[in-house]
Structure formats: structure tokens, C-alpha cells
Amino acid sequence: MERKKGIELNQAFGAVLTLVLVAVLVIIAIVVFASLSTSFEGSSDLSLVNDTVDMSAGANSVNNATFCGFGDFSISQVWNGTSGVAIDAGNYTTTRAGLITNTTSDFPSDWWVIWTGTWGSEACTASESSITEFSNYTSLIGLVGTIIFLGLVIGVLVASFVLGRRREV
């Protein structure tokens, strides 16, 4: 029986299986990191004294309000940044996400705010960074697929040349 030259198509099964395995692992990693990032919410205390908040637009968030897992925001004291006059709690509203809204036309300038809250710590930030990296990974899957395809083509060519010089009987 004479053997055909080159690599048979069923030998590409390993490369396709590898590609599917990589895709499944990426999806599992995204799900795990998403669960982790929400589990860290509010795990670390956070406070800031004399945080300068620009209230010229009528509403603005405090610094660090964009931290991962930020929440449980409460204000201790507020002063007008220009005159140093204390601002009563009835002149503003707050949200859990760190947004302060000026409910009066008074005090349109910068405010100095003393506040406390919580955030998810560095672990939450690391989980969200991992999610971002894995969500951008889809373009890399195409690259991995291209590399595997080129490896198969080169393997077929090399095997054809190597097996072409030998005669099997």
C-alpha cells in the first residue's frame, strides 16, 4: 500500500480543538473576574478631607467617586471654597455614587467637602482590569487562529517536501 504525501486533514483537529479551548477559557475567565469584582464592593474605607469639588455646573462628583466598588458615600461638612462659609445640608443632595447636587443658586463656586465612603480596594481594580484585558482579547483570538492556520500551512509544505523525497513501499 502506498502512502499519500503530505498531512491529512484530520490532523488539523488538534489545532481546532486548541482554538475552541482558548475561547472557552477566555469566557470562563471573564465570568469569574466579573463575579470577583462585584464581591469586593465596599470592602475598604475611604475618606477625604477638603476635597475640592467644582460646583459651577450645579452638580459634580467628588474625587475618587470613579474608584471600583465606590459606595456608601456620606458628607460630614461642606464649605464654600471662595468665602469659607459653611454650607448647610439643605442646600445640596447626594447620591451613593458620590454625586453632589447644589439645590440652591447660592454658592456656585468650588466647594470644600469632607466625606467618607467605601470602595472595593485594589482587588476590585485588578478584577476590573482583568475583565478589560480579556474583553479586548477577542482580537487576539483571531491572531491566534491565524498563527495556527499559518502553522498548519507551513507544516503541510514542510511535510510535503520531506515526505516527497522518500518512497514508501
Q: For residues 69 and 124, is the Cβ–Cβ distance under 8 A?
A: yes
The model's pTM is 0.57
Above 70 in pLDDT, residue 30?
yes
Give residue-wise pLDDT tens across range 72-102.
Answer: 889 999 999 888 899 999 999 999 889 999 9
Give residue-wise pLDDT tens across range 70-79.
Answer: 888 899 999 9
Q: Which pLDDT does position 34 carry in this prediction?
A: 79
Instruction: Indicate the helix (H) or strand (E) that contains 147.
Output: helix 138-165
Above 90 in pLDDT, residue 111?
yes
CA atoms within 13 A on the CB side of 127: 20
User: What are the CA-CA distances from residue 104 to residues 58, 82, 107, 114, 115 (Å)?
Assistant: 9, 16, 8, 20, 20
Q: Which pLDDT does position 165 carry in this prediction?
A: 61
Above 70 in pLDDT, residue 166?
no
Q: What is the mean pLDDT of residues 148-168?
A: 69
Q: What is the mean pLDDT of residues 32-38?
A: 77
Q: What is the mean pLDDT of residues 54-59?
A: 89
How is residue 78 written as a grid cell? 461642606
Measured between alpha carbons, how far is 148 from 155 in angstroms, rounded to an integer? 10
